[in-house]
Amino acid sequence: MFEFVLPFIILIIVVVFVHEYGHYYFARRYGVGVTDFSIGFGKELFGWNDKSGTRWKICLIPLGGYVKFFGDKNVFSQSDRDEILKKYKEEDRKKLFTLKPLYQRSLIVFGGPLANFILAVIIFLMINMFAGKDFTPAMIDEVKKDSPAYTAGLKKNDVILSIDNNDVKSILDVSKYITLSTAEFIDFEVSRYDQKILVKVRPDFIDSEDSLGNKVKKRMIGITLLPYNNNVNHKKLGPIKAMYYSLTEVYFVTTSTLKYLGTIITGKGDSSQLGGPIRIAKISGQVAEFGIIPFLSMMAYISISLGLINLFPIPLLDGGHLMFYGIEKILGRPLSEKTQEGFFRIGMFLLLSLMFFATYNDLKDLGLF
């Protein structure tokens, strides 16, 4: 159990710290007072005060964090402007988040998700530069009889060029693109006798296990692969190419996640694959056993997910605050505190429902249901 818990705690602390530091950085840049910088919730385990008066602390439950601004009533940055104007003197008002211009408040809120995306880019950049990236061409070695690939017309020795318009740069890309595809038919572009051929394959959904032994539903088309001409090509990249492939990976993961969530909302996707902290802890421990590179890659993927989810227009999340600021821009005034309270209750219900559902999937994955 300990081998799962420690990697999970390290992963969560890093991605949460980076997220909250994004808020903190822009807050300090625009002169907003920060009273608390917390990793985790609940009882404080230890902490310290810096010269500016910010309390940096680690709390008991390491499943998130927050930055609390000067004058806020709570960690959700709620405040009553009229009450603030009466309570604080002119000098102190300069440090109040709620009195800052709209664009500054928006950047402070957006800073958290932005920091998560930057962390992912940096991780992928370092991996591409110092560990290298695989560029081994993917050739079909076998097509199983009566499989989706067989029925669609894929053949032995076909070289896979692209899947769903995503260029296949590596033999490792094939499984990734098939697994993350959300289309009913997957578009394959292959090279056969120096001719490019487009093949549409309708995958089967089967109960299987991933490389870590976890039960998953996978899209399978019935092929096995070999390096083209046995040419294994793994090389370290220079800064420019490494950055390009890092940005490409972040973009692909982001768009694939949005497409998957879209299928969940429309009822076409497999919601059993949604997981929560228990599944993340389990997988992070398993991945850590394979070494630092797989663990860092997972950290990058989790960081992207955290940044993306926080941009959803759900009250209590960063995206919910940005939604309120958009409404404020249109109306020329902020929403009333009472209206915001109503939205926050809705957001709390949605988040608790999602947490309950994800936890149920986690426990089901452990065989408890």
Report yes or no: 128 and 242 within 8 Å, Cβ to Cβ: yes
Q: Which candidate in 3, 20, 289, 341 is catalytic? A: 20
Catalytic annotation on 20?
A: yes
Residue 304 class from Cβ within 10 Å (0-12 exposed, 13-18 middle, 19+ buried)? buried
Candidates 66, 76, 75, 96; CA nearest to 84 is 96
d(CA 80, CA 223): 62
d(CA 118, CA 99): 28
**Strand runs (DSSP E) across 100-228, as ranges?**
133-134, 138-143, 159-163, 166-167, 186-192, 195-201, 204-209, 215-220, 223-227
Q: What is the largest CA-CA distance in the chain?
A: 79
Candidates 201, 198, 170, 169; CA nearest to 185 is 201
Candidates 18, 81, 75, 5; CA nearest to 317 is 75
User: What radius of gyration, in Å, describes the C-alpha atoms of the chain?
Assistant: 24
Helix (H) or strand (E) holding 349, with range, is helix 337-365
Q: What three-state secondary structure class fits 354?
A: helix
Q: Which two tokens stand for residue 186?
A: 């997957």
Q: What three-state secondary structure class fits 113?
A: helix
Phi/psi at 76 (nearest 5 deg)?
Answer: -95, 15
State the catalytic residues.
20
